[in-house]
Amino acid sequence: MTQKAQTVSEALRRAQEEEEDVFLARLNKQELEKSGFDTSTFGEFSVVDVYLQYWDGEFTLKYEFDDDPRQTYYEKENEVGGRDMLLEIVEEYLDLGGE
């Protein structure tokens, strides 16, 4: 697993400059729901790994359910309410953390 980012600015820098998936958090279903994420359409899962990516000039959140790359969901910054909202989400995931 990729080394977890410690700060929002580190996560942004690594995602953009190093063009890598930056690990933010490993959360169980209850923790993900607590963050405001609607899990109702994702069925049963035990854990989700959350990453930050930078692709095509935009930051994206990547959710990988139960360590299965076939069960991956992406949210672009414009889908979560813009860059400022994405930064708040990244900060929350870093705070919730876990590994």
Global pTM exceeds 0.75: yes
Domain count of the chain? 1
3, part of any domain: no
The residue to which tokens 């996560």 are assigned: 11
- At 98 the pLDDT is 54
**Which structural domain, as residue segments, surrounds residue 61?**
8-96
- At 2 the pLDDT is 60
2, part of any domain: no
Nearest alpha carbon to residue 49 among 33, 67, 36, 34: 67
Q: What is the mean pLDDT of each run of 10 residues along the chain (99 residues)?
A: 78 90 94 92 93 94 95 94 94 81
